[in-house]
Amino acid sequence: MANFYPVRNCKSHNNMECAPLEMSRQFMSKQKAVISNGVNRREFLNIVAGGAAASAISFAGCNSQAAERKKSSKQPNIIFIMADDMGYADLGCYGQKHIKTPNINRLAVEGTRFTQCYTGSTVCAPSRSVLMTGQHTGHTRVRANFGQVGGVGPQKRVPLKGEDVTVAEVVKQAGYVTGITGKWGLGEPQTTGVPNRQGFDEWLGYLNQRNAHSYYPPYLWHNEEKQILEKNANGQRKQYSHDLFTDFALNFIRRHKNRPFFLYLPYTVPHAKYEIPSTDPYTDKSWPDDAKVHAAMITRMDADVGRIMSLLKDLAIDSKTLVFFCSDNGAAKRWEGIFDSSGPLRGRKRDLYEGGIRTPMIVRWPGRVPAGETSDAAWYFADVLPTLAELLGVNPPDNIDGISVLPAILGKKQRTDDRFLYWEFYGNGFQQAVRWRSYKAVRTSPGKALELYDVSKDISEQHNIAAENPDIIARIEAYLKTARTDSPNWPVQAKK
């Protein structure tokens, strides 16, 4: 594999490493007023980037990234690791009995384990769109894996547009270098949606889900070019793509250890297809072959998480690095009687019941995020962008749906469930779900009555209490009237 050299993002790259944080904050504050007066999100970024560069130039003498970093204890490195189709109960620290995940379990011991965190959607692409934009599926650009109207190519994939502002673009306002490796899902080649045009300086991986179904691909995308994997030429199976993602991640961390970085690591395991170089340590189990691969994929990823955490310690940046670990949606298979991957939750991937959208979420930052704690704060992927914006002292765009849950993550008192969390899903017709306080409402088709569950008492969503709670139903129905806007790519349709 060739070395990975960075290609700078041409869109919003700026030189804010030396801009004093306070100056940046004031500047962003001014721009916030501007954006309210009709400047779109893309213009907003360009204005901020230009202003920040000017500030940096005027701040003579600040040429040491290390000095700047020392001054700003609010600028940790950020690593966001995300598995693909891994269930809520697939990790030892979330009750798994058979799949070994010692390194991820250690993350939970050294950080906080969230038990009521939710993904952006119940399938890949929209979940990632919510994560990247801070907008829920009623507003975000990419609302399903395939478009129904418009889109690019035979699968009508809808790319992020220029005006969509991603987490990567937000953290760049604070001078971060940004990298991503794994599966993107938000833009086909040559479109406005590719990672390098959405705030990422460096990228290696699969642009869409379909290509990611092979773990021995003939090529991966490295920035905007194809990186041919010669070891997989002519159908050979010698280069496991997942391993390249870990290599890229370790390399990225080493190269950027002296400055704040944001590394987004959306791994493709344990998504089908069930391919892996070795099913150790499960080869001798009596499980079906796919189950052995599922377990071995998670354990292989766990070992790679261990390598990443070891490297942070070796480079002495462990305490300066905020690490997230989660999955992008619920379990693709429940593996009943083997792994019981959804645990006590109802449903799985493609459902808006808890098994489709609740995710294991571990957050670790030594000395800042409480170690060994469990939190039941309710939050979701739309909150990541505003949370990181608050942490770094920059303003998020104003048309996001998430809130900053920074206090909850830092172990402080914060009520995060007294607002509406929203999901919509276009598989099998049009479905909607809302979480408000301890209530969860699900509508499985347009025009159907809402189901209502109290997930604090009924985690398995077995007892529909809608009839006994007309006031709560009325409140959620009123919210639903305001929750979303139509997408040109996904018209609302009843179940066929």
Where do contacts with Ca ion occur on this chain (CB under 5 A)? Answer: 84-85, 124, 328-329
Pick between residue 106 and residue 143 the one whose CB is nearest to Ca ion.
143
Q: How far is the CB of 268 from Ca ion (least distance, A)?
A: 9
Q: How far is the CB of 330 from Ca ion (least distance, A)?
A: 9
Pick between residue 171 and residue 433 the one whose CB is nearest to Ca ion.
433
* Residues paired with 103 in a beta bridge: none
Q: How far is the CB of 208 from Ca ion (least distance, A)?
A: 12
What does DSSP say about strands 261-266 and 321-327: parallel, antiparallel, or unpaired? unpaired
Pick between residue 68 and residue 85 the one whose CB is nearest to Ca ion.
85
CA 260 from chain centre, in angstroms, equals: 19
**Phi and psi torsions of 221, nearest 5°:** -85, 125
Pick between residue 213 and residue 419 the one whose CB is nearest to Ca ion.
213
Pick between residue 326 and residue 369 the one whose CB is nearest to Ca ion.
326
Q: How far is the CB of 359 from Ca ion (least distance, A)?
A: 10
Q: How far is the CB of 328 from Ca ion (least distance, A)?
A: 4
Q: How far is the CB of 87 from Ca ion (least distance, A)?
A: 11
CA dihedral 110, 115, 116, 120 (to 10 degrees): 70
**Comparing C-alpha atoms, which of 407, 463, 411, 401 is closest to residue 118?**
401
State the residue number with the nearest CB to Ca ion.
Answer: 124
Q: State the number of CA atoms in the 13 A half-sphere of 171 facing the CB.
A: 31
The answer to whether 199 and 169 have CB atoms below 8 angstroms apart is: yes
Q: How far is the CB of 290 from Ca ion (least distance, A)?
A: 16
Pick between residue 72 and residue 329 the one whose CB is nearest to Ca ion.
329
Pick between residue 302 and residue 328 the one whose CB is nearest to Ca ion.
328
Please give the Cα distance from 421 to 118 (Å, whole number): 9
Helix 41-58, helix 21-36: angle, nearest 10: 150
| Cβ-Cβ contacts under 8 Å for 451 (sequence gap 6 or more) | 441, 442, 443, 444, 461, 464, 466
CA dihedral 136, 138, 144, 148 (to 10 degrees): -160
